[in-house]
Amino acid sequence: MRILVLNGPNLNMLSERDSAVYGQDSLAQITSELVQSFGDIDFEFFQSNAEGALVDRLHAAHRAGVDAVVFNPGAYGHTSIALRDAIEVITPPVIEVHLSNIYARQGFRHHSMIAPVCIGQISGLGARGYFLAVRYLQRAAAEA
């Protein structure tokens, strides 16, 4: 199984951001732990602060036949119609992940532009959200 783990703006700064909101793990630590925990999955990892680069990576994943996408869009999840449209047009299923509970934060974070075109959303469970998303996708593939 091939899974793209896609991360949006400011996630490259995780270990330097508010640990009470985002946890203490760096993106590199999360990436390493995913690879160690799921040895049977072929992961691809990509992070960008640029919206267009994220759109391009979703298109590339689709064309390359990636099986699924775990996507933490960061703040773009609340604002990006371009990312919503990119997810809607590709065939791999996408799970939206947020480290913090977006519904317990500022009002502008309560709405996700991409949630309606994702198969699910995990919010507020810190780095474990990535692991839960991968576990779900792994089981769903086994049941298919």
- In 10 A of CB 137, how many CB atoms? 24
111 catalytic per annotation: no
Going by C-alpha positions, the residue among 57, 89, 62, 60 that lies closest to residue 73 is 57
Beta bridge partners of 72: 7
Spot the catalytic one: 22, 62, 76, 110. 22
Spot the catalytic one: 98, 103, 110, 136. 98
78 catalytic per annotation: no
Helices 128-143 and 27-37 pack at an angle, to 10 degrees, of 30
* Residue the block writes with tokens 């919010």: 123
Question: Rounded to an integer, what distance in angstroms lies between the CA atom of residue 136 and that of residue 61?
Answer: 19
Q: Catalytic residues, which ones?
A: 22, 98
